[in-house]
Amino acid sequence: MRTEHHVHTWADGRTLRIVEGDITEQDVDAIVNAANEMLAHGGGVAGAIAAKGGPAITSESKRWVQEHGRVPTGGAAITGGGQLKARYVVHAVGPVWAGGSKGEERLFSSAVRSALSLADERGLASIALPAISTGIFGYPIHLAVQTILGAILQYLDEHHGTSLRDVRICDMNKATVALFAEEVSRLEGDAGSGSAGRS
């Protein structure tokens, strides 16, 4: 069960969808996990993904950290999807909110772009992202919405050859979904008919 609140379409057919629903149920090539640097899947989105995907996700995550070290804030790692519908889980490490003066926006944008880049490297066509960093990491949702959308739109505008055709922002919270939908509409209005590559 999913409810689409907004669909933004590029001239070449790529789409950005704002979806209300359970990210673990998204039928996409990859879903993004709101991860920490040690890829320890405790509560929130990470806990839900690990619970539904089964032990393979947790064991792959531990192995990734053993082989590569912790995932830096602003970076991402990728594992299989275990028992999820998605084939992969991209673990994006967003920043902990510290008032906004510690480079959080730059790190947040980097985490989103890193996740999209990993999906691109594997030739994936569809990906779903949650509102990373807005749970226990404390990132203010209104700022997170702007940064997530800005990073996605910039990445897709800059990478015309991307394999990604269907990018979704997915959240179970109606208010959060509404904020994303409103921000996309605002950006579309600001861009007007002359925006590069967008319709």
Q: Is residue 196 part of a domain?
A: no
Specify the CATH number for the domain of residue 69: 3.40.220.10
Region 171-190 average pLDDT? 90
Q: Is residue 28 part of a domain?
A: yes
Q: Is residue 45 part of a domain?
A: yes
Specify whether the CB–CB gap between 28 and 126 falls below 8 A.
yes
Here the tokens at position 96 are 């902990």
Closest to 128 measured CA to CA, from 36, 43, 61, 29: 29
**pLDDT tens for residues 3-42?**
778 888 888 889 999 999 999 999 999 999 999 999 998 8
In the chain, how many domains are there? 1
CA–CA separation, 6 vs 63, rounded Å?
A: 38
Q: Is residue 168 part of a domain?
A: yes
Provide the residue range defining the domain that includes 144.
Answer: 2-191
**pLDDT tens for residues 122-161?**
999 999 999 999 999 999 999 999 999 999 999 999 998 9
Q: Is residue 178 part of a domain?
A: yes
Q: Is residue 199 part of a domain?
A: no
Q: Is residue 142 part of a domain?
A: yes
